[in-house]
Structure 1
Amino acid sequence: MNRSFGEMEDSKSNQSLYFNIVYKTTIKSFATTDHQYHRNMTINVADSVNLLCNVESNPKSNISISFNGEILNDTTGSDSLFFQLSEANCSNAGIYVCSGANEYNYGSNATREFTVYVKCQPQPSTDMGLVQNISAALHSSKTLRFRVLPYLDSGVTTFNWFKQDTPVDNYIEHSGRIHVWSSSIESNLTINSVSESDFGEYRIEYNNSVGFNSFTFYLQGEKALVTSPTDIETSKYVGVVAACASGVVVIIVVIAGSIYLYKKRHKTEPGTSTYQNVPFGSNGRQRKESTQSLDINETRFEALQEVDDVPKETNESAVYTNSLDIIEKIERVEVSELLSYVLGKSEDSFAADFKKLPSDLQKPCIFARKPENLPLNRYNGIYPCELTLCCISKPILLGYLTLFSTIR
């Protein structure tokens, strides 16, 4: 478009736009400060190693350097981490791990390894639990296993087996029952169909570029638990006697328990007479005292007022403890949830629940609690209430009659 007046002018306008791109952590390098692209290094005892781990990420990362699961150094919000291994020894040989992550790694850390070899004389591995005395049964197979610590010298460890002072290779050529398998850190000697001639001393010699070492096994026969027919028969008799003795003990315990329960159920205190209700004749009320033991648990009339807890009348609403209203208010608990329900309640809560149960007489029982009627009640502390009282048209000599029915 051309201007309608004035001269034409040229102008320019610049704007900058910045993007902040976030991304997860990646390991850029993990090596020594002298050789950034090497993945391993061989050092001598007492040497030092400087390890440097560099990462790339946005935002910055949390970084750690660890050895055998133990963190040696760590940092937060950084892009590099340094660790110095000073005066190395044989136990420092192994794999070192650099780990880094930020919030965009979502828990999956970036890692890189660096291997440090320390030149040391070969040593037995501590995770095998070496045992010198080995037992083997005749005609079975047995393997003698040996392993050295790894990363002691970057070269290969060689193994040589001997029986007494004779190389095992000589036995392999003649018998064909002995086999040897070896790797860079482990060697196994297997004997198939063990015979008595195989028992004895076996020595393994192992060496690397630094030095030499050896370990000795002693192979011996296993002892049988039963060595003769006489021992077998004796063991049978011992088992039979033990079974019989156990049976006798069980029978004695059962008999003793039965006698104890019988005496406990039929026990009568000496000098105590028992009162029971008896039919009444034309002469009016009668009482009968008997010193014989009864099958039912009754109490003397003279002691009735002592054991009979006669509650006081209450002004509370007339409610029976087995009424539908009370049952509907009971908190119901599933059998499968009973244990957790009980464990979840305190001692005080049980006491509070118990106090909620109605106490005292809930209905008037004046007639049943008259002194002349007390001995006619069948149970102590349980009385017929006035609500259940009924009149009989024909007079009877009893004057008071309690009836109990059984629901079947």
Structure 2
Amino acid sequence: MTDRSAVDTIRGYFYQFDLSILSVLQLPSLEDSIEIECVEDIDVRTANDVTATQCKYYAKTEYNHSVIKDAVKHMLSHFKETLTGTKSKVSYSIRGHYAGGQEKLDAGVDIDFLKKHFLTYTKEKVTYYHHVELGLSDTELEAFLKLLTIDIRAKAFDQQFGEVITALKAALGGTKFSAEYFFYNNALAIIRDLSIKAATTDRVITKKQFLARVNTSSILFNEWFVEKKGKKAHLAMLRSEYFTELNISAHERFFMLQVDPNSYERGELKELIFEISKKWSKLSVREPSPFCPYIYVHGLSDCELIDLKRELSTEGFKVIDGHDFQGAEFSHQSIVQKATHGNGIKIKVLNTLPNVEHTVNAITKTRRVYQFHLGNSYFQYDNPAVRHIKIQVERLTDVKSII
């Protein structure tokens, strides 16, 4: 597979995922459900009926009847099983987007057209008739056609995606950014996870369950979402949304980082600390309201944290951590002291999660908590007065590209 065809294939997957998301969002009842790749790509189940939908995305290919022939044959085979009572009755839908050729179906599909273009095929120079193999009469084929809908003028890739974002905003509220980076990101992961479940019953989700799982407050690192956006663009968008203030206000900012003990390098962490201090401090002698950020590092051993602070101090990078002398208990009054050009404080290190919560609670100024996590979120803090942003990253170095 060439690089170009690989990209087209991936877009085809996303097109199908987006249609699945849109299908569940458009369900009329919270108890209605979709089933992923059961009878077809997507089975939509309401209180009254089930529609099995197959999705085709060929943005660079002209429509030909052969493209959907196998889908029609498969649906007809399923229809035959409903007549014998071995399968439940469903409606059938084929949706596709093509570069052209849609006029080939403008006259509609009758029984003769169905037989000629969709049910007749040649194998090893022998002609076969699928409806004959199934033993179906013209009357039964007519009944099948009444259950079949073919739409070869389905929405283009970006147009369908726009409808998904609009539907997510309508269902869950918020901004376009939250609809895409919170809700769509999560929705994509949910549909992807359902599609690879082995058991049919595990590939079913109701609208109510879907909305509950989508509506989270953390930006998760979903590899499919990042694949679609491109990692560089993904990190740049996060920076644009949260870290591009033209005039940095004197807020109290808490940067919560997480390290992986298996790949931790002190030099990488130090470089990130320097970057946070540089970008999110104002300590000049002329600054009327000087400030510097707080930092907490999750996953760092006590010994390594001590060595890190010692090394920073030795290099002339002044840190405070709320402990005024050996053996002293943590004091929020100590940690919240103003950093100035005169006292040289560059960063305020919080050693534990209780220290973080105690300090955030003790401050009355505007507070912002930026929690970067590698796996699950490790700090739960719910206070309407405090903006708490949770962003999952693939590795620690990604944080530098975001801030």
TM-score (norm 2): 0.19
Give the greater-gyration-radius structure (CA): 1
Whose strand fraction is larger, Structure 1's or Structure 2's?
Answer: 1
Greater relative CO, 1 or 2 (CA 8 Å, sep 6+):
2
